[in-house]
Amino acid sequence: MAERASGPRTEDDVNEQLSPAEAAASRSHLLRTAIWVVIGALIAAALVCVIWVLFGTQTDLIGRAFLTILLLVGFAAVSIMDVHLASRRPVWFALTSLAVWIVTLLIGAFMIWMPGSTWVMPARVVSYLAIILVLQLALLHLRLYWKAHEQRPTLFTSIVTYVTIGLVGILAILLVLPLITYEWIEYSDLYWRFVVAVTILAALGTALVPLVNMLFTPRKPRPPKPLPWPTYADGRTPLPVLPDGQPDFQAYYTGRPTYAQPVPPASYAQPAPPAAYAQPAPPAPYMQSAPVPGQPPVAPPPGQPPIPGQPVPPTEPPVQPPVQPPVPPAQPPVGPTPPQA
């Protein structure tokens, strides 16, 4: 069972133990304290440089003073950048970064004002840039390596992580010391053998934790990729489907399905039928346009009901034939009256 490593407190640990307001207040307090420490280191370095200028016996004071001004301005700029980036970093890493820069400032002030001829100043500047590179690489290693450890913290990985971080810190010190004191101390071959041994052990520990994470972290199964459905010679029309779900390869040579296809398969879309076999569109219903001023309305075609809201032209009444008066029945003709006897 995985155990939680008791190392530097991360943001998740702070949020679990404190409320959001308390966590924000604690973080702000630590950062403010770190900023005051940076300001104090900046003032102390400036005062030491001033004392060396007034009472020291070093030559080339103008060049050393110029390098000191560059050092202080660069340190102030880097400190401001670290404070702005502190909101995206864990508190322990932000404090560690500021501490590393304070050490870098003190080393730079010492290398500028320690005794030496004017001709060694370019070599010291190059050595100082190498010191900054070594310390920042060690800091970057600490950040990335601790992230890898937090992915799956166990007892084994916790021990390896702490030992490796210690070895990386010792290696950084062993590399920085010759860059500072190479003018006075000559390091033997045994010293560099020890540096190489520490480097090998640090590299081994750096590789162990990611490999253990890859070994024991479960991977998500990848869904199988569907096989492409075969088509006819045109490369677009898919082959029909047999009753067992397999492609009808015989239709590739005959040009027609071996079995009837009542329902097209859902894995692909059937092509549209040719225009010759398309069903004619039904006639559109009668729609009468809006009446135009000055024109009589148009009557709907025979058999179509009028559209509601549209005017219908008046229909004329059917013409009735004139009514003829009735003809009286014919009377028999009246002949002459016979004489009376």
- Full DSSP string of 119-175: GGHHHHHHHHHHHHHHHHHHHHHHHHHHHHHHHS--HHHHHHHHHHHHHHHHHHHHH
- pTM for the full model? 0.55
**Predicted pLDDT of residue 20:** 65
Q: Residue 256: its pLDDT value, please?
A: 78
**Straight-line distance from the first to the last Cα atom of the chain, in angstroms, rounded to the nearest whole number:** 164
User: Residue 122, Cβ neighbours under 10 Å: how many?
Assistant: 9
Locate the domains of the chain by residue range. 9-115, 117-217, 229-260
Q: What pLDDT, on a 0 to 100 scale, did the predictor assign at position 336? A: 54
Q: How high is the mean pLDDT in each 10-residue block of the chain (341 residues)?
A: 43 52 66 75 77 70 79 83 78 85 87 76 89 93 90 88 94 93 88 94 92 77 74 80 80 78 54 48 49 57 57 57 60 54 44
